[in-house]
Structure 1
Protein backbone atom coordinates (compact mmCIF):
# COMPACT_ATOMS: atom_id res chain seq x y z
CA UNK A 1 0.00 0.00 0.00
CA UNK A 2 1.46 3.36 -0.99
CA UNK A 3 1.68 6.35 1.35
CA UNK A 4 -1.20 8.31 -0.23
CA UNK A 5 -3.56 5.33 0.17
CA UNK A 6 -2.49 4.80 3.79
CA UNK A 7 -2.95 8.46 4.59
CA UNK A 8 -6.37 8.55 2.97
CA UNK A 9 -7.45 5.56 5.08
CA UNK A 10 -6.14 7.26 8.20
CA UNK A 11 -8.16 10.38 7.40
CA UNK A 12 -11.25 8.25 6.73
CA UNK A 13 -10.86 6.70 10.18
CA UNK A 14 -10.45 10.11 11.78
CA UNK A 15 -13.70 11.31 10.21
CA UNK A 16 -15.49 8.52 12.08
CA UNK A 17 -13.55 8.12 15.33
CA UNK A 18 -11.89 11.57 15.68
CA UNK A 19 -8.88 9.81 17.30
CA UNK A 20 -6.57 7.10 16.00
CA UNK A 21 -3.87 5.04 17.73
CA UNK A 22 -0.56 4.09 16.15
CA UNK A 23 -0.73 0.42 17.15
CA UNK A 24 -4.28 -0.03 15.84
CA UNK A 25 -3.43 1.68 12.57
CA UNK A 26 -0.34 -0.43 12.04
CA UNK A 27 -2.46 -3.57 12.44
CA UNK A 28 -5.28 -2.32 10.20
CA UNK A 29 -2.94 -1.07 7.48
CA UNK A 30 -0.60 -4.06 7.75
CA UNK A 31 2.47 -1.91 8.13
CA UNK A 32 4.95 -0.94 10.82
CA UNK A 33 4.35 1.55 13.60
CA UNK A 34 7.32 3.56 12.31
CA UNK A 35 5.57 3.93 8.93
CA UNK A 36 2.31 4.93 10.63
CA UNK A 37 4.08 7.60 12.69
CA UNK A 38 5.64 8.94 9.50
CA UNK A 39 2.20 9.12 7.86
CA UNK A 40 0.72 10.85 10.90
CA UNK A 41 3.52 13.41 10.85
CA UNK A 42 2.84 14.12 7.17
CA UNK A 43 -0.88 14.54 7.84
CA UNK A 44 -0.14 16.82 10.78
CA UNK A 45 2.07 19.00 8.56
CA UNK A 46 -0.81 19.23 6.07
CA UNK A 47 -3.18 20.40 8.80
CA UNK A 48 -5.46 17.36 8.89
CA UNK A 49 -4.69 16.21 12.43
CA UNK A 50 -2.82 16.94 15.67
CA UNK A 51 -0.32 14.43 17.04
CA UNK A 52 -0.93 13.21 20.57
CA UNK A 53 0.82 10.55 22.64
CA UNK A 54 0.33 7.22 20.93
CA UNK A 55 -1.67 8.54 18.01
CA UNK A 56 -3.51 11.57 16.67
CA UNK A 57 -6.78 13.49 16.86
CA UNK A 58 -8.65 15.09 13.98
CA UNK A 59 -8.50 18.82 13.23
CA UNK A 60 -11.21 18.55 10.56
CA UNK A 61 -14.66 19.74 11.55
CA UNK A 62 -17.61 17.63 10.50
CA UNK A 63 -18.31 18.32 6.83
CA UNK A 64 -15.02 20.15 6.31
CA UNK A 65 -12.96 19.48 3.21
CA UNK A 66 -9.50 17.94 3.27
CA UNK A 67 -6.55 20.29 2.75
CA UNK A 68 -5.56 20.76 -0.90
CA UNK A 69 -2.18 19.13 -0.29
CA UNK A 70 -3.88 15.90 0.76
CA UNK A 71 -6.49 15.92 -1.99
CA UNK A 72 -3.76 16.43 -4.58
CA UNK A 73 -2.44 12.91 -3.90
CA UNK A 74 -5.88 11.28 -3.65
CA UNK A 75 -6.99 9.19 -6.67
CA UNK A 76 -4.35 10.80 -8.86
CA UNK A 77 -4.48 8.11 -11.56
CA UNK A 78 -8.27 8.41 -11.83
CA UNK A 79 -8.11 12.20 -11.99
CA UNK A 80 -5.44 12.15 -14.70
CA UNK A 81 -7.46 9.63 -16.73
CA UNK A 82 -10.63 11.72 -16.42
CA UNK A 83 -8.68 14.82 -17.43
CA UNK A 84 -7.58 13.11 -20.64
CA UNK A 85 -11.22 12.27 -21.43
CA UNK A 86 -12.18 15.92 -20.89
CA UNK A 87 -9.32 17.09 -23.11
CA UNK A 88 -10.61 14.80 -25.85
CA UNK A 89 -14.00 16.51 -25.72
CA UNK A 90 -12.54 19.96 -26.45
CA UNK A 91 -11.87 21.23 -29.96
CA UNK A 92 -8.98 23.54 -30.74
CA UNK A 93 -10.15 27.13 -30.72
CA UNK A 94 -12.71 26.66 -27.95
CA UNK A 95 -13.09 29.00 -25.00
CA UNK A 96 -13.18 26.93 -21.80
CA UNK A 97 -13.67 27.60 -18.10
CA UNK A 98 -11.65 25.19 -15.94
CA UNK A 99 -12.86 24.91 -12.36
CA UNK A 100 -10.70 24.86 -9.24
CA UNK A 101 -9.73 21.88 -7.08
CA UNK A 102 -7.39 18.98 -7.70
CA UNK A 103 -9.50 17.55 -10.55
CA UNK A 104 -9.53 20.97 -12.20
CA UNK A 105 -5.75 21.11 -11.86
CA UNK A 106 -5.49 17.70 -13.56
CA UNK A 107 -7.63 19.03 -16.43
CA UNK A 108 -5.39 22.09 -16.72
CA UNK A 109 -2.34 19.85 -17.01
CA UNK A 110 -4.05 17.86 -19.76
CA UNK A 111 -4.69 21.07 -21.73
CA UNK A 112 -1.10 22.36 -21.74
CA UNK A 113 -0.03 23.00 -25.32
CA UNK A 114 -3.59 23.10 -26.68
CA UNK A 115 -4.81 26.00 -28.84
CA UNK A 116 -7.56 27.11 -26.49
CA UNK A 117 -8.74 30.17 -24.63
CA UNK A 118 -8.91 29.07 -21.00
CA UNK A 119 -10.48 30.81 -18.02
CA UNK A 120 -8.89 29.07 -14.98
CA UNK A 121 -10.70 29.42 -11.67
CA UNK A 122 -7.61 28.76 -9.57
CA UNK A 123 -4.10 30.13 -9.36
CA UNK A 124 -2.48 26.64 -9.56
CA UNK A 125 -4.30 25.97 -12.86
CA UNK A 126 -3.34 29.40 -14.19
CA UNK A 127 0.30 28.73 -13.33
CA UNK A 128 0.28 25.37 -15.13
CA UNK A 129 -1.37 26.79 -18.24
CA UNK A 130 0.89 29.83 -18.38
CA UNK A 131 3.74 27.61 -19.60
CA UNK A 132 2.04 27.17 -22.99
CA UNK A 133 2.38 29.84 -25.67
CA UNK A 134 -0.47 28.20 -27.61
CA UNK A 135 -2.99 28.83 -24.83
CA UNK A 136 -4.67 32.19 -24.26
CA UNK A 137 -5.35 32.76 -20.57
CA UNK A 138 -8.18 34.93 -19.29
CA UNK A 139 -7.70 35.03 -15.53
CA UNK A 140 -10.69 36.42 -13.63
CA UNK A 141 -10.35 38.69 -10.65
CA UNK A 142 -11.49 37.80 -7.16
CA UNK A 143 -10.23 36.53 -3.83
CA UNK A 144 -7.84 33.60 -3.71
CA UNK A 145 -8.75 31.15 -0.95
CA UNK A 146 -5.75 30.46 1.26
CA UNK A 147 -4.42 26.94 0.85
CA UNK A 148 -6.67 26.28 -2.13
CA UNK A 149 -5.76 28.99 -4.62
CA UNK A 150 -9.33 28.98 -5.95
CA UNK A 151 -10.74 32.31 -7.13
CA UNK A 152 -14.02 33.24 -5.47
CA UNK A 153 -16.23 36.17 -4.59
CA UNK A 154 -18.17 38.92 -6.38
CA UNK A 155 -15.28 39.92 -8.68
CA UNK A 156 -14.90 36.35 -9.93
CA UNK A 157 -18.63 35.98 -10.49
CA UNK A 158 -18.80 39.35 -12.30
CA UNK A 159 -15.91 38.34 -14.55
CA UNK A 160 -17.72 35.14 -15.50
CA UNK A 161 -20.98 36.99 -16.17
CA UNK A 162 -19.14 39.15 -18.70
CA UNK A 163 -18.08 36.09 -20.73
CA UNK A 164 -19.68 33.59 -23.09
CA UNK A 165 -17.64 30.40 -23.42
CA UNK A 166 -18.07 27.14 -25.28
CA UNK A 167 -17.51 24.78 -22.35
CA UNK A 168 -17.37 24.94 -18.57
CA UNK A 169 -15.53 22.08 -16.84
CA UNK A 170 -16.88 21.88 -13.29
CA UNK A 171 -15.51 19.90 -10.35
CA UNK A 172 -17.26 19.00 -7.12
CA UNK A 173 -16.82 17.82 -3.55
CA UNK A 174 -19.80 15.49 -3.66
CA UNK A 175 -22.39 14.31 -6.16
CA UNK A 176 -25.61 12.43 -5.75
CA UNK A 177 -28.66 11.91 -7.93
CA UNK A 178 -30.82 12.82 -4.92
CA UNK A 179 -28.78 15.61 -3.29
CA UNK A 180 -27.18 17.04 -6.42
CA UNK A 181 -23.70 18.45 -6.91
CA UNK A 182 -22.31 19.97 -3.73
CA UNK A 183 -19.32 21.99 -2.53
CA UNK A 184 -17.91 22.53 0.94
CA UNK A 185 -18.00 26.32 0.66
CA UNK A 186 -20.90 28.51 -0.46
CA UNK A 187 -18.60 30.96 -2.27
CA UNK A 188 -17.17 28.08 -4.29
CA UNK A 189 -20.70 26.92 -5.13
CA UNK A 190 -21.65 30.42 -6.34
CA UNK A 191 -18.64 30.57 -8.68
CA UNK A 192 -19.46 27.15 -10.10
CA UNK A 193 -23.00 28.29 -10.89
CA UNK A 194 -21.68 31.46 -12.54
CA UNK A 195 -19.30 29.39 -14.67
CA UNK A 196 -22.12 27.13 -15.79
CA UNK A 197 -24.34 30.08 -16.65
CA UNK A 198 -21.80 31.53 -19.10
CA UNK A 199 -21.22 28.27 -20.99
CA UNK A 200 -22.98 26.61 -23.93
CA UNK A 201 -21.93 23.16 -22.67
CA UNK A 202 -21.22 21.97 -19.14
CA UNK A 203 -19.04 19.02 -18.14
CA UNK A 204 -18.98 17.64 -14.59
CA UNK A 205 -15.81 15.83 -13.53
CA UNK A 206 -15.91 13.54 -10.51
CA UNK A 207 -14.35 10.22 -9.59
CA UNK A 208 -16.45 7.35 -8.23
CA UNK A 209 -15.54 8.21 -4.63
CA UNK A 210 -17.55 11.45 -4.96
CA UNK A 211 -20.80 9.52 -5.49
CA UNK A 212 -22.78 9.44 -2.27
CA UNK A 213 -20.77 12.26 -0.68
CA UNK A 214 -22.78 15.34 0.21
CA UNK A 215 -21.05 18.58 1.17
CA UNK A 216 -22.63 21.68 2.72
CA UNK A 217 -23.51 23.87 -0.27
CA UNK A 218 -25.70 22.75 -3.15
CA UNK A 219 -24.47 23.82 -6.60
CA UNK A 220 -27.16 22.32 -8.81
CA UNK A 221 -28.76 19.05 -9.88
CA UNK A 222 -26.59 16.46 -11.61
CA UNK A 223 -29.06 16.53 -14.50
CA UNK A 224 -28.17 20.19 -15.16
CA UNK A 225 -24.96 18.98 -16.83
CA UNK A 226 -24.57 17.91 -20.43
CA UNK A 227 -21.74 15.47 -19.72
CA UNK A 228 -20.44 13.60 -16.68
CA UNK A 229 -16.87 12.31 -16.81
CA UNK A 230 -16.17 9.75 -14.09
CA UNK A 231 -14.14 6.56 -13.63
CA UNK A 232 -14.83 2.88 -14.10
CA UNK A 233 -15.77 2.35 -10.43
CA UNK A 234 -18.81 4.63 -10.62
CA UNK A 235 -21.99 2.94 -9.31
CA UNK A 236 -24.18 1.48 -12.04
CA UNK A 237 -27.54 2.60 -10.59
CA UNK A 238 -26.93 6.35 -10.53
CA UNK A 239 -25.17 6.18 -13.90
CA UNK A 240 -28.24 4.53 -15.45
CA UNK A 241 -30.50 7.19 -13.92
CA UNK A 242 -28.37 10.01 -15.31
CA UNK A 243 -28.27 8.51 -18.78
CA UNK A 244 -32.04 8.07 -18.70
CA UNK A 245 -32.32 11.77 -17.81
CA UNK A 246 -30.28 12.70 -20.88
CA UNK A 247 -26.84 13.22 -19.33
CA UNK A 248 -23.99 11.78 -21.41
CA UNK A 249 -21.79 9.71 -19.07
CA UNK A 250 -18.21 8.93 -20.06
CA UNK A 251 -15.90 6.65 -18.08
CA UNK A 252 -12.14 6.99 -17.81
Structure 2
Protein backbone atom coordinates (compact mmCIF):
# COMPACT_ATOMS: atom_id res chain seq x y z
CA UNK A 1 0.00 0.00 0.00
CA UNK A 2 1.11 3.57 -0.61
CA UNK A 3 0.72 6.28 2.02
CA UNK A 4 -2.78 7.34 0.95
CA UNK A 5 -3.99 3.75 0.80
CA UNK A 6 -2.62 3.04 4.28
CA UNK A 7 -4.27 6.14 5.70
CA UNK A 8 -7.60 5.17 4.18
CA UNK A 9 -7.24 1.64 5.51
CA UNK A 10 -6.41 2.79 9.04
CA UNK A 11 -9.29 5.27 9.18
CA UNK A 12 -11.73 2.75 7.74
CA UNK A 13 -10.66 0.06 10.20
CA UNK A 14 -11.02 2.36 13.20
CA UNK A 15 -14.47 3.44 12.02
CA UNK A 16 -15.44 -0.26 12.02
CA UNK A 17 -13.82 -1.58 15.21
CA UNK A 18 -12.81 1.58 17.13
CA UNK A 19 -9.33 0.34 18.15
CA UNK A 20 -6.26 -1.19 16.46
CA UNK A 21 -2.69 -1.98 17.52
CA UNK A 22 0.45 -0.94 15.66
CA UNK A 23 1.35 -4.60 15.14
CA UNK A 24 -2.10 -5.37 13.73
CA UNK A 25 -1.93 -2.44 11.30
CA UNK A 26 1.61 -3.31 10.23
CA UNK A 27 0.61 -6.89 9.46
CA UNK A 28 -2.53 -5.83 7.57
CA UNK A 29 -0.79 -3.20 5.43
CA UNK A 30 2.62 -4.80 4.96
CA UNK A 31 4.33 -1.70 6.35
CA UNK A 32 6.87 -1.57 9.17
CA UNK A 33 5.75 -0.67 12.67
CA UNK A 34 7.86 2.50 12.46
CA UNK A 35 5.98 3.52 9.29
CA UNK A 36 2.63 2.81 10.97
CA UNK A 37 3.60 4.98 13.95
CA UNK A 38 4.39 7.85 11.56
CA UNK A 39 1.03 7.29 9.84
CA UNK A 40 -0.78 7.43 13.16
CA UNK A 41 1.00 10.66 14.08
CA UNK A 42 -0.12 12.28 10.82
CA UNK A 43 -3.69 11.03 11.14
CA UNK A 44 -3.90 12.21 14.75
CA UNK A 45 -2.83 15.71 13.64
CA UNK A 46 -5.80 15.67 11.22
CA UNK A 47 -8.25 14.66 13.94
CA UNK A 48 -8.83 11.23 12.38
CA UNK A 49 -7.81 9.23 15.45
CA UNK A 50 -6.22 9.35 18.90
CA UNK A 51 -2.96 7.57 19.57
CA UNK A 52 -2.77 5.34 22.64
CA UNK A 53 -0.06 3.05 23.98
CA UNK A 54 0.60 0.39 21.35
CA UNK A 55 -1.88 1.64 18.78
CA UNK A 56 -4.77 4.02 18.15
CA UNK A 57 -8.48 4.46 18.82
CA UNK A 58 -11.17 6.34 16.97
CA UNK A 59 -11.43 9.96 18.04
CA UNK A 60 -15.14 10.14 17.22
CA UNK A 61 -17.76 9.81 19.99
CA UNK A 62 -20.88 7.84 19.24
CA UNK A 63 -23.76 9.66 17.59
CA UNK A 64 -21.50 12.20 15.89
CA UNK A 65 -21.02 12.50 12.14
CA UNK A 66 -17.36 11.92 11.16
CA UNK A 67 -15.70 14.97 9.55
CA UNK A 68 -15.91 15.18 5.76
CA UNK A 69 -12.17 14.68 5.29
CA UNK A 70 -12.26 11.43 7.25
CA UNK A 71 -15.30 10.11 5.38
CA UNK A 72 -13.65 11.00 2.07
CA UNK A 73 -10.74 8.71 2.97
CA UNK A 74 -12.97 5.70 3.55
CA UNK A 75 -14.54 3.29 1.05
CA UNK A 76 -13.78 5.17 -2.17
CA UNK A 77 -14.14 2.13 -4.43
CA UNK A 78 -17.43 1.09 -2.84
CA UNK A 79 -18.81 4.60 -3.30
CA UNK A 80 -17.74 4.63 -6.96
CA UNK A 81 -19.58 1.34 -7.58
CA UNK A 82 -22.71 2.68 -5.89
CA UNK A 83 -22.44 5.90 -7.88
CA UNK A 84 -22.33 4.06 -11.20
CA UNK A 85 -25.38 2.02 -10.19
CA UNK A 86 -27.31 5.19 -9.30
CA UNK A 87 -26.46 7.00 -12.54
CA UNK A 88 -27.58 3.96 -14.55
CA UNK A 89 -31.06 4.46 -13.06
CA UNK A 90 -31.30 7.97 -14.55
CA UNK A 91 -32.42 9.01 -18.03
CA UNK A 92 -30.64 11.74 -19.97
CA UNK A 93 -32.58 14.99 -19.74
CA UNK A 94 -33.77 14.41 -16.17
CA UNK A 95 -33.79 17.15 -13.57
CA UNK A 96 -31.92 15.89 -10.52
CA UNK A 97 -31.39 17.16 -6.99
CA UNK A 98 -28.15 15.72 -5.59
CA UNK A 99 -27.51 15.44 -1.87
CA UNK A 100 -24.44 16.30 0.20
CA UNK A 101 -21.71 13.92 1.29
CA UNK A 102 -18.87 11.88 -0.13
CA UNK A 103 -21.10 9.32 -1.85
CA UNK A 104 -22.97 12.15 -3.58
CA UNK A 105 -19.64 13.51 -4.85
CA UNK A 106 -18.93 10.06 -6.32
CA UNK A 107 -22.34 10.23 -8.04
CA UNK A 108 -21.47 13.68 -9.42
CA UNK A 109 -18.23 12.33 -10.88
CA UNK A 110 -20.08 9.36 -12.41
CA UNK A 111 -22.31 11.77 -14.37
CA UNK A 112 -19.37 12.81 -16.56
CA UNK A 113 -20.72 11.61 -19.92
CA UNK A 114 -24.43 12.17 -19.25
CA UNK A 115 -26.85 15.07 -19.72
CA UNK A 116 -28.81 16.28 -16.71
CA UNK A 117 -29.96 19.45 -15.01
CA UNK A 118 -28.61 19.09 -11.47
CA UNK A 119 -29.15 21.06 -8.27
CA UNK A 120 -26.34 19.99 -5.90
CA UNK A 121 -26.82 20.47 -2.17
CA UNK A 122 -23.10 21.06 -1.62
CA UNK A 123 -20.19 22.89 -3.21
CA UNK A 124 -18.16 19.66 -3.24
CA UNK A 125 -20.69 18.12 -5.64
CA UNK A 126 -21.00 21.37 -7.59
CA UNK A 127 -17.24 21.48 -8.20
CA UNK A 128 -17.29 17.89 -9.47
CA UNK A 129 -20.26 18.58 -11.75
CA UNK A 130 -18.82 21.80 -13.16
CA UNK A 131 -16.26 19.81 -15.18
CA UNK A 132 -18.97 17.92 -17.10
CA UNK A 133 -20.12 19.62 -20.35
CA UNK A 134 -23.48 17.82 -20.38
CA UNK A 135 -24.51 19.07 -16.93
CA UNK A 136 -26.57 22.22 -16.42
CA UNK A 137 -26.10 23.42 -12.85
CA UNK A 138 -28.82 25.00 -10.71
CA UNK A 139 -27.35 26.34 -7.47
CA UNK A 140 -29.75 26.46 -4.49
CA UNK A 141 -27.66 29.05 -2.65
CA UNK A 142 -27.79 29.86 1.03
CA UNK A 143 -25.24 29.66 3.83
CA UNK A 144 -22.47 27.08 3.57
CA UNK A 145 -21.29 24.73 6.33
CA UNK A 146 -17.51 24.75 6.77
CA UNK A 147 -15.69 21.65 5.48
CA UNK A 148 -18.93 19.87 4.51
CA UNK A 149 -19.68 22.80 2.14
CA UNK A 150 -23.39 21.98 2.22
CA UNK A 151 -26.03 24.66 1.72
CA UNK A 152 -28.36 25.39 4.63
CA UNK A 153 -30.85 27.99 5.79
CA UNK A 154 -33.92 29.59 4.25
CA UNK A 155 -32.56 30.06 0.72
CA UNK A 156 -32.04 26.40 -0.28
CA UNK A 157 -35.26 25.33 1.41
CA UNK A 158 -37.17 27.97 -0.55
CA UNK A 159 -35.41 26.96 -3.77
CA UNK A 160 -36.65 23.40 -3.45
CA UNK A 161 -40.15 24.63 -2.62
CA UNK A 162 -40.15 26.64 -5.86
CA UNK A 163 -38.75 23.93 -8.17
CA UNK A 164 -39.85 20.45 -9.25
CA UNK A 165 -37.33 17.67 -9.90
CA UNK A 166 -37.65 14.28 -11.52
CA UNK A 167 -35.31 12.62 -9.03
CA UNK A 168 -33.66 13.41 -5.71
CA UNK A 169 -30.56 11.32 -5.01
CA UNK A 170 -30.58 11.17 -1.22
CA UNK A 171 -27.59 10.36 0.92
CA UNK A 172 -27.97 9.87 4.65
CA UNK A 173 -26.20 8.98 7.87
CA UNK A 174 -28.55 6.11 8.59
CA UNK A 175 -31.45 4.22 7.04
CA UNK A 176 -33.75 2.08 9.14
CA UNK A 177 -36.99 0.33 8.11
CA UNK A 178 -38.88 1.93 11.01
CA UNK A 179 -37.11 5.28 11.48
CA UNK A 180 -36.60 5.93 7.76
CA UNK A 181 -33.72 8.01 6.40
CA UNK A 182 -31.89 10.07 9.01
CA UNK A 183 -28.97 12.51 9.33
CA UNK A 184 -26.95 14.04 12.16
CA UNK A 185 -27.00 17.72 11.22
CA UNK A 186 -30.45 19.21 11.77
CA UNK A 187 -29.85 22.15 9.41
CA UNK A 188 -29.03 19.70 6.63
CA UNK A 189 -32.15 17.71 7.49
CA UNK A 190 -34.37 20.70 6.70
CA UNK A 191 -32.86 21.10 3.23
CA UNK A 192 -33.04 17.36 2.53
CA UNK A 193 -36.72 17.32 3.51
CA UNK A 194 -37.44 20.14 1.09
CA UNK A 195 -35.59 18.27 -1.67
CA UNK A 196 -37.59 15.10 -0.96
CA UNK A 197 -40.83 17.07 -1.27
CA UNK A 198 -39.69 18.63 -4.56
CA UNK A 199 -38.98 15.34 -6.34
CA UNK A 200 -41.24 12.86 -8.11
CA UNK A 201 -38.84 10.05 -7.18
CA UNK A 202 -36.34 9.62 -4.34
CA UNK A 203 -33.39 7.27 -4.76
CA UNK A 204 -31.53 6.65 -1.52
CA UNK A 205 -27.88 5.61 -1.86
CA UNK A 206 -26.08 4.25 1.19
CA UNK A 207 -22.95 2.27 1.93
CA UNK A 208 -23.39 -0.91 3.95
CA UNK A 209 -22.45 0.74 7.25
CA UNK A 210 -25.45 3.09 7.01
CA UNK A 211 -28.06 0.33 6.68
CA UNK A 212 -29.86 -0.49 9.92
CA UNK A 213 -28.65 2.68 11.66
CA UNK A 214 -30.51 5.80 12.74
CA UNK A 215 -29.17 9.31 13.36
CA UNK A 216 -30.82 12.17 15.25
CA UNK A 217 -32.83 13.93 12.54
CA UNK A 218 -35.50 12.18 10.48
CA UNK A 219 -35.46 13.16 6.80
CA UNK A 220 -38.31 11.03 5.49
CA UNK A 221 -40.08 7.72 5.92
CA UNK A 222 -39.28 4.64 3.86
CA UNK A 223 -42.63 5.04 2.11
CA UNK A 224 -41.31 8.24 0.52
CA UNK A 225 -38.32 6.44 -1.01
CA UNK A 226 -38.70 4.74 -4.40
CA UNK A 227 -35.67 2.49 -3.99
CA UNK A 228 -32.45 2.02 -2.04
CA UNK A 229 -29.08 1.47 -3.73
CA UNK A 230 -26.62 -0.17 -1.35
CA UNK A 231 -23.70 -2.57 -1.18
CA UNK A 232 -24.97 -4.17 2.03
CA UNK A 233 -25.24 -7.96 1.56
CA UNK A 234 -28.58 -8.95 0.04
CA UNK A 235 -29.12 -11.59 2.73
CA UNK A 236 -28.24 -9.34 5.67
CA UNK A 237 -30.98 -8.89 8.31
CA UNK A 238 -31.01 -5.11 7.75
CA UNK A 239 -31.63 -5.45 4.00
CA UNK A 240 -34.24 -8.16 4.55
CA UNK A 241 -36.00 -5.85 7.01
CA UNK A 242 -36.16 -3.14 4.34
CA UNK A 243 -37.62 -5.59 1.83
CA UNK A 244 -40.17 -6.74 4.41
CA UNK A 245 -41.37 -3.12 4.50
CA UNK A 246 -41.88 -3.20 0.71
CA UNK A 247 -38.71 -1.25 -0.12
CA UNK A 248 -37.02 -2.06 -3.44
CA UNK A 249 -33.30 -2.64 -2.87
CA UNK A 250 -30.79 -2.43 -5.73
CA UNK A 251 -27.20 -3.69 -5.53
CA UNK A 252 -24.36 -2.49 -7.76
CA UNK A 253 -23.08 -4.91 -10.38
CA UNK A 254 -19.82 -6.70 -9.67
CA UNK A 255 -16.81 -5.13 -11.39
- Whether the aligned pair in 2 keeps the contact of 1:98 and 1:168 (CA below 8 Å) is yes
Aligned length: 248
Q: Alignment partner of 1:214: what SS?
A: coil
1:5 aligns with 2:5: no
- Whether the aligned pair in 2 keeps the contact of 1:186 and 1:217 (CA below 8 Å) is yes
Give the aligned partner of residue 207 of structure 2.
207
1:95 aligns with 2:99: no
- Whether the aligned pair in 1 keeps the contact of 2:11 and 2:49 (CA below 8 Å) is no
Separation (CA, whole Å) in 2 of partners of 1:81 and 1:131 = 20
Give the root-mean-square deviation of aligned CA atoms.
Answer: 2.5
Separation (CA, whole Å) in 2 of partners of 1:38 and 1:149 = 30
Rate the CA distance shift 1:88–1:6 in 2: closer, same or farther, 3 A: same
Separation (CA, whole Å) in 2 of partners of 1:158 and 1:81 = 33
Q: What do the CA deviations read for 1:183-235 (whole angstroms, capped 9, x no partner)?
A: 11111111111110000000000011212332222222233200111115255
Give the aligned partner of residue 60 of structure 1.
60
TM-score where L is the length of structure 2: 0.86
Give the aligned partner of residue 251 of structure 1.
251
Give the deviation of 1:126 after TM superposition.
Answer: 0.4
Q: What do the CA deviations read for 1:98-129 (whole angstroms, capped 9, x no partner)?
A: 10101100110111232110001110110111
Q: Alignment partner of 2:96: what SS?
A: strand
Q: What do the CA deviations read for 1:43-68 (whole angstroms, capped 9, x no partner)?
A: 22332234567655654333111121
Give the deviation of 1:29 after TM superposition.
Answer: 7.4
- Whether the aligned pair in 2 keeps the contact of 1:7 and 1:39 (CA below 8 Å) is no
Give the aligned partner of residue 82 of structure 1.
82
Separation (CA, whole Å) in 2 of partners of 1:112 and 1:5 = 28
Rate the CA distance shift 1:38–1:91 in 2: closer, same or farther, 3 A: same
Q: Alignment partner of 1:193: what SS?
A: helix
Rate the CA distance shift 1:87–1:24 in 2: closer, same or farther, 3 A: closer
Give the aligned partner of residue 193 of structure 1.
193
Separation (CA, whole Å) in 1 of partners of 2:13 and 2:240 = 29
Separation (CA, whole Å) in 2 of partners of 1:39 and 1:11 = 16
